[in-house]
Amino acid sequence: MTTFALDTATPTPSLALVGVDGVIAELWLGRVPGGGRRVLEAAHHLLGACGVVPADLQQIVVGVGPGGFTGIRIGIATALGLGQALGIPVHGASSLEALALGATVACREGELIAPVIDARRREVFAGAYAVDADRGLRQVIAPAAWDPGDFARALAQAGPAVIAGDGAALVPALPTTRLAPDGPVQQVRAALLVARVAQEGPLPVLPHYLRLPDAEEKRLERLAAEARA
Amino acid sequence: MTGLVLAIETSCDETAAAVVDGRRILSSIVASQAELHSVYGGVVPEVAARHHLTTVNAVVDEALREAGVSLNDIARIAVTRRPGLIGALLVGVATAKALAYATGKDLVMVDHLHGHIAAVWLEPLSLDAPFVALTASGGHTRIDLVEDYTAPQLLGQTLDDAAGEAIDKGARLLGIPYPGGPGLEALARDGDPTAFDFPVGLRGRGPGLDFSYAGVKTALLYVVRDLGEEGTTARRADLAASYQEAIVRPLADRLMRAAEIHGVPAVSIGGGVAANGRLRHLVEEGAASRGLRVAIPDRSLCTDNAAMIGAAAAFSPAIPWPHYVGEDAIATAPPGGIAA
Ligand SMILES: [Zn+2]
């Protein structure tokens, strides 16, 4: 089973080729604006380096977010296009949970793992998970778009935690939290999407925006105001 | 040019796919989002992009099924690259690139405006160059000289609002819900187009082929204010007819003038505003009186669709596999015209 995995929810897109015996190759794009737009080019190079052609792929796993809306859509559109053309299954996995799974190596006994993705506009996409002995994740705080201060308070209630991800620095420091060390644990790794699917089964290939379009939010506010009046 | 083209269009609020075989349309599927956006009074880019993503693969499947072909039978894939809503374009471009890459096919990246112009190349109109083309929609208002389908040349364009934009804004002032075009036209049918003298854009300003629609919209605003609610209601049909006339007459007039200046034997229209019955009538009438051939596409080929993208693909270079993997969508039109 050769699986191609990709995640473009964050400014550092990640791709991986995973075989039955584990990861064959991984590739990250550096933090460049619109990096997600380069994902097919990166895929071409990754496959080429492994001597694999698209027709060899048997399954695709794509990160469905949360993260940048445009990035998520490019990743999913690419995955679905490849799947449609090749006639192979496409599965979804949470980008936030893949981030959490990667950071479990930085987790000490009794600590929660709190994956945090920068949601812009001074918000973060974040959640918290307890980690069991075989690296299974149990959701403690459901993924959502948070005000960083509110998230810190929710986390303080939940227990000691290690924070990882490109939005980690936005969360106010607490006596009970610490930041995961720099390095790969701070990024969404596409290979861990595949690991997540192996743990929990696939998610539908639908974006986890966790936020309504601005126009829809305004419309609902207006309707609510009209209902009050 | 031989072989089937699968074309994908997602530049605004229609998710579209088509299969064309040269000038022949084998299928043309359009999933319109108009209803989705009507509650916002206009196209919301983020809403459009979200909807394209959940729709595009099914629309492609449907286009293949209706054409009675499989992806294997397709020679090339074409997609709208520019101009448009960037989030919307990116969904189509990522999809088309992935489909082409996975199947080893070449990719043609098409300019949306090139598509509108090339719509009349398709059967049954099958218009050959040279001609002058009017493209009028919510985003564009322009006239091109088409000496050759590969390189339309811009002759004139709007200096401010697009014609379709002016129609939508005017319709809103008259209490017609978005999209305002069909409602305004229906209302105008019972009205007198000469009842109100709205300023026709750039009237009397030399032989230019440019347009201006900011003034007419403001003029309607003042008239509606002066008439008051009751007066406006009483004269809605006349207002609609006069306002529509002020928008579509300059389109037809300048198209005829462009044909005269450049000595071409034919004219064409395209874009969403070309679905307007009054414009179609004026263009037909103007062309007949000058002995010009006129190509007016079916309404479904005027509004955004993918068959026109498949048509333009016949006149755009195909990028061979896999050299398009790094190609990107672009929000803007290139300076001065159309990227062929
Ligand atoms: Zn258009």
The model carries a pTM of 0.96
SS3 B200: coil
B79 C-alpha vs ligand 1 centroid, how far in Å? Answer: 13
Q: Does B91 touch chain A (CB under 8 A)?
A: yes
How far away, in angstroms, is B116 Cα from ligand 1 center?
Answer: 7
Residue B319 burial (CB < 10 Å; 0-12/13-18/19+)?
A: middle
- CA dist A32 and B234 (Å) reads 58
Q: B204 falls in which pLDDT band (50, 70, 90)?
A: very low
What's the rounded mean pLDDT across residues B64-68? 98
Nearest to A76 among B44, B53, B326 (CB): B53
User: What is the residue whose two structure tokens read 């799974």?
Assistant: A101
Nearest to B77 by CA among B29, B126, B7: B7
Q: Are A141 and A127 in contact (CB under 8 A)?
A: yes
Distance CA B284, CA B56 (A): 36
* Interface contact B101-A76, CB threshold 8 A: no
Average pLDDT of chain A, as a whole number: 95
Question: Sorting pLDDT into bands at 50, 70 and 90, what band is B142?
Answer: very high
pLDDT at B340 over 70: no
User: Is A134 in CB contact (< 8 Å) with chain B?
Assistant: no
Contact residues for A140 (Cβ-Cβ < 8 A; gap 6+): A112, A127, A128, A129, A130, A158, A159
Cβ contact B90–A37 (<8 Å): yes
> Which residue type, as a one-letter code, is found at position A130?
A
Tens digits of per-residue pLDDT, A80-130? 999 999 999 999 999 999 999 999 999 999 999 999 999 999 999 999 999
Instruction: Spell out where A20-87 has E strands.
Output: 22-28, 59-63
Backbone angles phi, psi at B43, to 5 degrees: -75, 125
Q: Model confidence at B338, in pLDDT bands (50, 70, 90)?
A: confident
Pairwise CB contact (< 8 Å): B94 & A219: no
Q: How close A223 comes to chain B (CA, Å)?
A: 11
Q: Which of A177, A179, A159 is nearest to A169 (CA)?
A: A179
Interface contact flag, A37 B97, Cβ < 8 Å: no
B47 reaches A (C-beta below 8 A): yes
Give the H/E segment covering residue B133.
Answer: strand B131-136
Reduced to 3 states, what is the DSSP secondary structure of residue A214? helix
Give chain B positions within 8 Å (CB) of A40.
94, 97-98, 101, 325-326
Flag whether pLDDT at B153 surpasses 70: yes
d(CA B176, CA B199): 22
pLDDT for B335 equals 76
Amino acid at position B337, single letter: G
pLDDT tens string B262-320: 999 999 999 999 999 999 999 999 999 999 999 999 999 999 999 999 999 999 999 99
B272: CA distance to ligand 1 center in Å? 7
Tell me the shortest Cα–Cα distance from A104 to chain B, in angstroms.
Answer: 32
CB contacts < 8 Å between A and B, how many? 99
A14 vs A35, higher pLDDT: A14
| CB-CB under 8 Å, B326 with A38 | yes
Alpha-carbon distance B253 to nearest alpha carbon in chain A (angstroms)? 38
Q: Which residues on chain B are in Cβ contact (under 8 Å) with A74? A: 90-91, 94
Sole residue written with tokens 């050299």: B323
Ligand 1 centre and the CA of A40: distance in Å? 27
| Residue B205: pLDDT over 60 | no
Sequence-ordered strand ranges (E) for chain A: 3-7, 14-19, 22-28, 59-63, 90-93, 112-118, 124-131, 137-146, 161-164, 177-179
